Amino acid sequence: MHFKKLFQVLVLGGAFLGAAAGCAQANAADKDKKPPADAGTTDSSGGGVKGW
């Protein structure tokens, strides 16, 4: 397993693709937006995605 190669291909390769277009803009509305109240539900810490 060549983890170093995976890092280069996936992480650095992805960053290159992301930078190829114009930069993302900070959204002032997002910064000012108050988060919705967290009702203390069981998903308050978030979940993950199953894979292979």
Partner 1 sequence: MSSARRAAAEAWAFRARVEQEAALRFDRLAEVVASFDPDSPVPAMMRRAADDERRHTELCARLAGRLGNPVVLDRDAAVAAIAPRSLDERKAALYEVVAACCITETESMATLTTLLASEQDPEVREVLHAISRDEVVHSRMGWAHLSRESVAAEVAFLGPLVPGMLAGTIDAGLFGAPPADEDPEGLLRLGVLSLSKKRAVFLGTLEQVVFPGLEKFGVDPEPGRRWLAHAAGLR
Smallest gap from residue 12 Cβ to partner 1 (A): 8
Smallest gap from residue 8 Cβ to partner 1 (A): 10
Neighbour-count burial for 12-50, b at 16+ CB within 10 Å, e otherwise: eeeeeeeeeeeeeeeeeeeeeeeeeeeeeeeeeeeeeee
Residue that is written with structure tokens 């810490």 in the block: 45
Which residues make up the interface to partner 1 (CB under 8 A)? Answer: 1-4, 6-7, 9-15, 17-27, 30, 33, 35-36, 38-39, 41, 43-52
Smallest gap from residue 9 Cβ to partner 1 (A): 7
